[in-house]
């Protein structure tokens, strides 16, 4: 084990399940805050803006501000800016749309208009007509961008369809593979490092889902900590070819390791 100067945390399955906090989430952030170790939260959720995410964490007693949060919608916005894409069609909710509008990206609703890209994010009120417009625009040359590949998302009701399920429908219809922005793509972590001036060797990525959280850390060349509180069980992770740097059952276990290391 080493002393990390910066931490990046997944949310669903690591900090909370739906509307229920996970044991140890508040305590580990309190510990890092006490030790003056900077931290950020990383989520594939595109439906919420950073302030919404911060307020949810605050409702659990977790110290969080808007500046602590990076969403897949924010990373998608940065991708569009970097690639000079200014007109898009969006399948997604207000969190995604408002994030794009904040960068003066125009959202077009009519498939007869030309667009630079079709953005697919989680939309819990999606219709056949939205899918039809998206596929027509992609066939006419628009880039196909997905905010994240999560086929399922954990909620208090159980596992529910995620944005990856919506993306698969569009991909199946068009035969076009999307550009995927969120985890396990390293873009989101690299954007956090760029914005904060952090060095990869000083960062620990913490998450429950091997196929998203842990792989995005591996792809970004940062150390990783798997917690056995969400999607991927410890037994499942042990069968993976590339192992996380560390594995613990709970965040409490990692707090104990940090305390032991500092003694």
Instruction: Specify whether 150 is catalytic.
Output: no
Per the structure block, which two tokens stand in for 109? 């609703």
Give the residue among 201, 206, 233, 222 at the shortest CA–CA distance from 24.
206
213 labeled binding residue:
no
Residue with tokens 């628009």: 142
Give the residue among 32, 28, 44, 42 at the shortest CA–CA distance from 6.
32
The catalytic residue among 10, 116, 123, 223 is: 10
183 labeled binding residue:
yes
Instruction: Specify whether 33 is catalytic.
Output: no
Per the structure block, which two tokens stand in for 49? 């803006």
208 labeled binding residue:
yes
Return d(Cα 48, Cα 129) in angstroms, integer.
23
**Residue 75: enclosing H or E segment and its boundaries?**
helix 72-82
123 labeled binding residue:
no
Return d(Cα 69, Cα 77) in angstroms, integer.
14
Are residues 238 and 258 in contact, defined by beta-carbon separation less than 8 angstroms?
no
Q: Which residues are catalytic?
A: 10, 12
Q: Which residues are annotated as a binding site for substrate?
A: 183
Binding residues: 10, 12, 183, 208
Question: Per the annotation, where are the binding residues for Mg(2+)?
Answer: 10, 12, 208
């Amino acid at each position: 084990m080493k002393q990390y100067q910066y931490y990046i945390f997944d949310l669903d399955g690591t900090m909370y399940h739906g509307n229920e906090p996970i044991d140890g989430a508040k305590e580990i952030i309190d510990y890092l805050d006490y030790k003056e170790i900077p931290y950020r939260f990383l989520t594939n959720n595109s439906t919420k803006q950073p302030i919404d995410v911060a307020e949810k964490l605050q409702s659990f007693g977790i110290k969080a501000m808007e500046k602590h949060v990076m969403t897949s919608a924010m990373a998608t916005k940065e991708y569009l800016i970097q690639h000079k894409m200014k007109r898009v069609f969006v399948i997604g909710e207000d969190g995604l749309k408002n994030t794009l509008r904040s960068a003066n990206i125009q959202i077009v609703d009519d498939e007869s208009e030309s667009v630079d890209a079709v953005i697919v994010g989680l939309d819990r009120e999606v219709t056949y007509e939205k899918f039809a417009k998206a596929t027509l625009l992609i066939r006419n040359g628009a880039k196909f961008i997905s905010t994240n590949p999560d086929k399922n998302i954990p909620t208090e009701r159980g596992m529910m369809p995620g944005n990856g399920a919506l993306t698969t429908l569009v991909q199946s219809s068009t035969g076009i593979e999307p550009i995927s922005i969120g985890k396990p793509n390293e873009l989101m972590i690299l954007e956090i490092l760029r914005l904060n001036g952090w060095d990869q060797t000083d960062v620990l990525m913490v998450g429950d889902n091997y196929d998203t959280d842990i792989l995005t850390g591996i792809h970004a060349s940062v150390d990783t900590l798997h917690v056995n509180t969400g999607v991927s069980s410890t037994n499942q992770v042990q069968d993976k070819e590339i192992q996380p740097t560390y594995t613990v059952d709970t965040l409490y276990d990692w707090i104990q390791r940090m305390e032991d290391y500092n003694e």
